[in-house]
Structure 1
Amino acid sequence: MDITAITIRDALDLLHEWRHPVLVLVFSCAAVGVAGVGIFFLLVTTLVQSYRQPPEKHPHGASAMFVLGSGGHTTELLGMISQLDFALYPTRTYVSFSGDTLSTVRALQLEREKSVTTTSTTTTTTSAAPAPAPGQVTTLALPRARTVGQSYFTSIFTSAACGFECVFAVAKVRPDIVVCNGPGSCVLICFAALVLRATRIKLTRLVYVESIARVNSLSLTGRILISVVDRFIVQWPALAEQYKDKGVEYFGILA
């Protein structure tokens, strides 16, 4: 049969033959595949365009999400957060991961210290003016993507579960900015924020600060996120020089 001679009627006749269930299945899979590819490229296009949009203005302050690691990562990030003006970020969310209750405790301790400092400063300035509101502080504990010593095969499933939890958490909070400094689980938080950007739910800006321990090379987390975050900050001049073509920023030691 000359395939060029097949008409629409011939194609319809084929559907009425005994082979039509297979043909319907093939056509359905092809349609789903084409639609999936189209949606994927649409989301990628929307995501790329989001980087060109100017920063949003927040007259009443922005909401910030801080992704805590364990140990040194938490110490570094809390040191940076302690230098922030909380009036600019009245809504603050601290994210930790299962098995790391100490990071949450330390974050809440910082909140109490900042609240006392702000109140004391306000009282000293003018006793007639009321102290500013402490703002809304929330803590989230998400499942860990992979524990130390866990097999790579089982980590596929735990990472997928953690990824879904991250998407739901970011979609619920809808922060204006996400700040992280290196723990591997923050990759999933950042990609969850990218999902919100691609679907136009929320234009969440991503700020990554490379750990002070990385002097001459980026961490694995940094290498993954350097091309997708809005601002990538390093704390050593060697890294700033090495990755200057990547748009990294250097302000010295931050904490």
Structure 2
Amino acid sequence: MDITAITIKDVLFFLNESRCPLLLLVFAGATAVLTVLGILAFLVTALLKSYALPPEKHPHGASAMFVLGSGGHTTELLGIVGQLDFTLYPIRTYVSFSGDKLSTVRALQLEKDKSPTTSSSASRSKVQTLELPRARNVGQSYFTSIFTSAACGLECLFTVVKVQPDIVVCNGPGSCVFICFAALLLRATRIKLTRLVYIESFARVNSLSLTGRILIFVVDRFIVQWPSLSERYKEKGVEYFGILA
């Protein structure tokens, strides 16, 4: 018997005729696991290759997404965003999370203060604010946070797929991890080559935040605001420009 001529159909027929449901279940499970591992390997390989690709050219400006935390995170990030040339990013999306209406108000106020003076720039600008569910609320149990985190992750994925920003800028709120990983999925599948910029909070002087420790390996640029952090993590490619806002 030529074993090389045996097909998957022959194997399934043998298992069925031999009445071996356990073997059939094991075979199906192994096939599913190998398929998932193959897909993951493909996505990881494609993602790693994406870092070597040149940035997309945008003759009329790029699309930027700014992920706002609450309180100090919002203050810092909006202080940095306020220094940008908005003509380079005519399409701007501000993302906040449930229970944080103030961040949206402050983002819109920044837009009003920096409103372009020329009609041509104004006609090209598109600004929107989005409020997504929070991954975990203060004092929430870890068990229930599993479900809220899953809901947050799905909403972040839908949002990133819909907006397809050219660049995502964030500075520490935990929920921004979901935004960044959604953008990485878009890169791996070549839907959109979104660049990621993470700015570690001004409050982190000697060590990185948990969000920073997660994202330092996947973002395109990781910026710190204290020389002590720059020295400690210089082998991981962090960048230091001083206090940004």
Sort the TM-score into its range (normalised by shorter chain). over 0.9
Q: Larger deviation: 24-33 or 152-161?
A: 24-33
Letter in 1 for 2:234: K
Quickly say closer, same or farther: Cα 1:24–1:238, change in 2 above 3 A: same
Relative to structure 1, the CA distance from residue 238 to residue 172 in structure 2 (aligned partners, 3 Å threshold; closer, same or farther) is same
Partners of 1:252 and 1:81 lie apart in 2 by 16
Q: d(CA) in 2 for partners of 1:23 and 1:16?
A: 12
Q: State the SS of the aligned residue for 1:133.
A: helix
Query: Aligned equivalents of 1:53 and 1:111: distance in 2?
Result: 32
Q: Any residues of structure 2 matched to 1:1-255 within 5 Å, and which?
A: 8=6, 12-19=13-20, 21-115=21-115, 118-119=116-117, 130=119, 132-133=121-122, 135-255=125-245
Offset from partner CA, 1:171-202 (integer Å, 9 cap, x none):
00000000001111111111111111111111
1:33 Cα offset (Å): 1.4
SS at 2:235 equivalent: helix
Deviation string 1:195-215 (CA, Å, 9 cap, x unpaired) is 111111111000000111111
How high is the TM-score relative to the length of structure 1? Answer: 0.89
Cα shift readout 1:39-62 (whole Å, capped 9, x = no counterpart) = 110000001111111122111100
Rg larger for: 1
2-structure distance, mates of 1:225, 1:8: 47
Please tell me the root mean square deviation across aligned C-alpha atoms, in Å: 1.8
Give the distance between the partners of 2:6 and 2:55, measured in 1 at CA: 52
Shift of 1:251: 0.7
- Shift, 1:155, TM fit: 0.6
Contact kept in structure 2, 1:15 and 1:23, CA below 8 Å: no
Letter of the 1:178 counterpart? V
One-letter identity of the residue aligned with 1:244: K
In structure 1, stretches of 5+ residues that fail to align are 123-129
Cα deviation, 1:214-233, whole Å, max 9, x if unaligned, reads: 11111111111111100000
AA aligned to 1:36 is: V
Alpha-carbon offset, residue 22 of structure 1 = 3.6
2:138, 2:55 → 1: CA distance? 38
Cα distance in 1 between the residues matched to 2:121 and 2:134: 36
Instruction: Report the Cα distance in structure 1 between the residues aligned to 2:79 and 2:6, rounded to whole angstroms.
Output: 69
- 1:126-183 CA distances to partner (integer Å, 9 max, x unpaired)? xxxx462160001110000000000111111110110000000000000000000111
Is residue 142–residue 166 contact of structure 1 (8 Å, CA) maintained in 2? Answer: yes
Q: Would the aligned equivalents of 1:73 and 1:211 in 2 still touch at CA under 8 Å?
A: yes
Question: What letter is aligned with 1:18?
Answer: R
2:224, 2:230 within 8 Å by CA — same for their partners in 1?
Answer: yes
Q: Per the alignment, in what secondary structure is the counterpart of residue 114 of structure 2?
A: helix
Counterpart Cα distance in 2 of 1:242 and 1:159: 31
Counterpart of 2:135 in 1: which secondary structure? coil
Aligned in 2, Cα 1:16/1:91: closer, same or farther, shift over 3 Å? Answer: same
Report if aligned partners of 2:15, 2:24 keep a CA contact under 8 Å in 1.
no
TM superposition score normalised by structure 2: 0.92
Q: Matches of 1:229 and 1:15 in 2, distance apart?
A: 49
Corresponding residue pairs, total: 238
